[in-house]
Amino acid sequence: MAPSKVENGSCVSDAPSSLFAWLVAALFQLFDGLKAGLDRFCNKLSAQLGERECWPVAADVSVPPHIWRIVSMARDPSVTSVSTTDVMSAAAWLQRALASGENVKLSLSTDIIVAFGKAGMADCAEEWLRRSHAEGRNPGAAAYRSVVEGHVRSGMLPHAEVCLTNFLEFGHVPVVATINALISGHAKMGNIAAAEAWMQKMKGLDVQPNVITYGSMIHACAKVGDLAAAEAWFSHMGELKLEANVINYTAVLAACAKVGDFQKAEIWVSRMTEANIRPDQITYNNLLEACAKAGAVARAEFWMAQMESASVDPDMFSYNALISACAKIGDIDRAERWLASMTKHGLSPNTITYSILTNACAKASDVGRAESGLQRMLDAGMHANAINYNTVIDACAKDGDVAKAERWLTTMCERGVAPDVVSYSAVIDACARTGLHERAASWLEKMKAAGVKANVVSYCAVINSCAKAGEAEKAESFLAEMLRIGIEANVVAYNSVINACCKIGSLARAEGWLERMQAAGMVPDVITYNTFVTALAKEGDTKGAQQWMQRMMEAGQLPNKVTYRSLMLAYSRAGQARDVERLISEMFAKRMRPDERCLTALMLAHAHASKEKRNPAQAAMSFKQLVQYGVPADAHAIDSLARAIGKPAAITVAHELGLNVDGCRMASGGGSSRRSAGSGSGNADGEAVASLRCRRTVAAA
- Per residue in 67-110, pLDDT (tens digit) is 777 777 777 877 777 877 877 877 777 777 777 665 556 567 77
> Is 60 or 255 the better-scoring residue by pLDDT?
255
- Please name the helix (run of DSSP H) or strand (run of DSSP E) that holds residue 373, with its range, or none: helix 367-379
> Is 675 or 77 the better-scoring residue by pLDDT?
77
The mean pLDDT value for 418-445 works out to: 91
Residue 355 lies in a domain: no
The mean pLDDT value for 561-587 works out to: 93
Determine which of 158-172, 402-416, 566-580 has the lowest per-residue pLDDT on average. Answer: 158-172
What pLDDT, on the 0 to 100 scale, is given for residue 132?
76
Q: How confident is the model at residue 672 (pLDDT cuts 50, 70, 90)?
A: very low
Per-residue HEC secondary structure of 527-576 comes to HHHHHHHHHHHHCCCHHHHHHHHHHHHHCCCCCCHHHHHHHHHHHHHCCC
- Please name the helix (run of DSSP H) or strand (run of DSSP E) that holds residue 334, with its range, or none: helix 332-344
Residue 473 lies in a domain: no
DSSP class per residue in 253-265: HHHHHHHT-HHHH
Looking at the predicted structure, is the pLDDT value of residue 655 above 70?
yes
CA distances from 123 to 116, 130, 539 (A): 9, 11, 76
If you average pLDDT over every residue of the chain, what do you get?
82
CA 170 to chain centre: 45
Residue 339 to residue 544: CA distance in whole angstroms = 60
Rg for the chain, CA atoms, rounded: 41
The mean pLDDT value for 445-458 works out to: 92
Looking at the predicted structure, is the pLDDT value of residue 241 above 60?
yes
> Is 626 or 139 the better-scoring residue by pLDDT?
626
CA 12 to chain centre: 87
The mean pLDDT value for 216-223 works out to: 88
Percentage with pLDDT > 70 across the chain = 83
Quick one: which of 389, 386, 394 has its CA closest to 363?
394
The mean pLDDT value for 127-145 works out to: 74
For 327-375, the pLDDT digits (tens) are: 999 999 999 999 999 999 999 999 999 999 999 999 999 999 999 999 9
What pLDDT, on the 0 to 100 scale, is given for residue 409?
94
Q: How confident is the model at residue 667 (pLDDT cuts 50, 70, 90)?
A: very low
- Residues 6 or more apart whose CB falls under 8 angstroms from that of 381 comprise none
What pLDDT, on the 0 to 100 scale, is given for residue 605?
93
Residue 547 to residue 655: CA distance in whole angstroms = 40
What pLDDT, on the 0 to 100 scale, is given for residue 306?
95
Answer whether 327's CB lies under 8 Å from 316's CB: no
Looking at the predicted structure, is the pLDDT value of residue 313 above 90?
yes
Q: How confident is the model at residue 4 (pLDDT cuts 50, 70, 90)?
A: very low
- Residues 6 or more apart whose CB falls under 8 angstroms from that of 347 comprise 314, 315, 316, 319
> Is 186 or 135 the better-scoring residue by pLDDT?
186
What pLDDT, on the 0 to 100 scale, is given for residue 28?
55
What pLDDT, on the 0 to 100 scale, is given for residue 666?
61
Other CB atoms within 10 Å distance of the CB of residue 147: 32
Cα 383–Cα 388–Cα 390 angle in degrees, nearest 5 = 130
Quick one: which of 193, 199, 194, 197 has its CA closest to 214?
199
- Residues 6 or more apart whose CB falls under 8 angstroms from that of 424 comprise 409, 443, 444, 446, 447, 450, 452, 454, 458
Other CB atoms within 10 Å distance of the CB of residue 392: 29
Looking at the predicted structure, is the pLDDT value of residue 50 above 50?
no
Determine which of 200-209, 248-257, 295-304, 342-351 has the lowest per-residue pLDDT on average. Answer: 200-209
Residue 79 to residue 571: CA distance in whole angstroms = 86
The mean pLDDT value for 222-238 works out to: 91
DSSP class per residue in 586-604: HHHHTT----HHHHHHHHH
Residue 268 lies in a domain: no
Say which CATH number the domain at 42 has: 1.25.40
Residue 110 lies in a domain: yes
Residue 359 to residue 370: CA distance in whole angstroms = 7
Residue 142 lies in a domain: yes
**DSSP letter, residue 55:** P
- Residues 6 or more apart whose CB falls under 8 angstroms from that of 387 comprise 355
> Is 205 or 481 the better-scoring residue by pLDDT?
481
**DSSP letter, residue 696:** B
The mean pLDDT value for 588-605 works out to: 93
Secondary-structure breakdown of the chain: helix, strand, coil percentages, each rounded to the nearest 5: 65, 0, 30
Answer whether 524's CB lies under 8 Å from 491's CB: yes
Q: SS3 for 6?
A: strand
What pLDDT, on the 0 to 100 scale, is given for residue 561?
93
Quick one: which of 591, 660, 602 has its CA closest to 626?
602
CA distances from 176 to 55, 205, 335, 525, 577 (A): 19, 10, 47, 59, 83
- Please name the helix (run of DSSP H) or strand (run of DSSP E) that holds residue 12, with its range, or none: strand 10-12
Residue 318 to residue 130: CA distance in whole angstroms = 48
Looking at the predicted structure, is the pLDDT value of residue 319 above 70?
yes
Residue 198 to residue 177: CA distance in whole angstroms = 12
Residue 464 lies in a domain: no
Residue 175 to residue 29: CA distance in whole angstroms = 37
What pLDDT, on the 0 to 100 scale, is given for residue 679?
36
Looking at the predicted structure, is the pLDDT value of residue 121 above 90?
no
What pLDDT, on the 0 to 100 scale, is given for residue 147?
80
Residue 695 to residue 697: CA distance in whole angstroms = 6
Q: How confident is the model at residue 151 (pLDDT cuts 50, 70, 90)?
A: confident
Answer whether 65's CB lies under 8 Å from 152's CB: no
Looking at the predicted structure, is the pLDDT value of residue 57 above 60?
no
Residue 439 lies in a domain: no
Looking at the predicted structure, is the pLDDT value of residue 289 above 60?
yes
CA distances from 353 to 339, 342, 374 (A): 8, 10, 11
Determine which of 96-105, 138-147, 550-559 has the lowest per-residue pLDDT on average. Answer: 96-105
Q: Find the Cα–Cα–Cα–Cα dihedral 611, 613, 619, 621, rounded to 10°.
A: 130
What pLDDT, on the 0 to 100 scale, is given for residue 268?
95
The mean pLDDT value for 9-24 works out to: 50
- Please name the helix (run of DSSP H) or strand (run of DSSP E) that holds residue 50, with its range, or none: none
> Is 589 or 63 the better-scoring residue by pLDDT?
589
What pLDDT, on the 0 to 100 scale, is given for residue 566?
93
Q: Find the Cα–Cα–Cα–Cα dihedral 236, 239, 240, 242, rounded to 10°.
A: 80
What pLDDT, on the 0 to 100 scale, is given for residue 427?
93
Q: How confident is the model at residue 280 (pLDDT cuts 50, 70, 90)?
A: very high
Burial string for 163-175 (b: 16+ CB within 10 Å, else e) reads bbebbeeeebebb
Quick one: which of 213, 160, 216, 211 has its CA closest to 190?
216
The mean pLDDT value for 573-599 works out to: 93
What pLDDT, on the 0 to 100 scale, is given for residue 49?
39
Looking at the predicted structure, is the pLDDT value of residue 238 above 60?
yes
Residue 54 to residue 45: CA distance in whole angstroms = 9
| This prediction's pTM | 0.63
The mean pLDDT value for 458-473 works out to: 89
Looking at the predicted structure, is the pLDDT value of residue 481 above 80?
yes
> Is 171 or 247 the better-scoring residue by pLDDT?
247
Q: How confident is the model at residue 197 (pLDDT cuts 50, 70, 90)?
A: confident
What pLDDT, on the 0 to 100 scale, is given for residue 193?
87
- Please name the helix (run of DSSP H) or strand (run of DSSP E) that holds residue 194, with its range, or none: helix 192-204
Q: How confident is the model at residue 13 (pLDDT cuts 50, 70, 90)?
A: very low
How many structural domains is the chain composed of?
A: 1
What pLDDT, on the 0 to 100 scale, is given for residue 22?
60
Answer whether 321's CB lies under 8 Å from 285's CB: yes
Residue 680 lies in a domain: no
> Is 177 or 1 the better-scoring residue by pLDDT?
177
Domain residues for 88?
28-174
Other CB atoms within 10 Å distance of the CB of residue 275: 12
> Is 91 or 658 the better-scoring residue by pLDDT?
658
The mean pLDDT value for 426-436 works out to: 89
The mean pLDDT value for 159-163 works out to: 79
Decide: residue 49, CB within 10 A, 0-12 exposed, 13-18 middle, 19+ buried. exposed
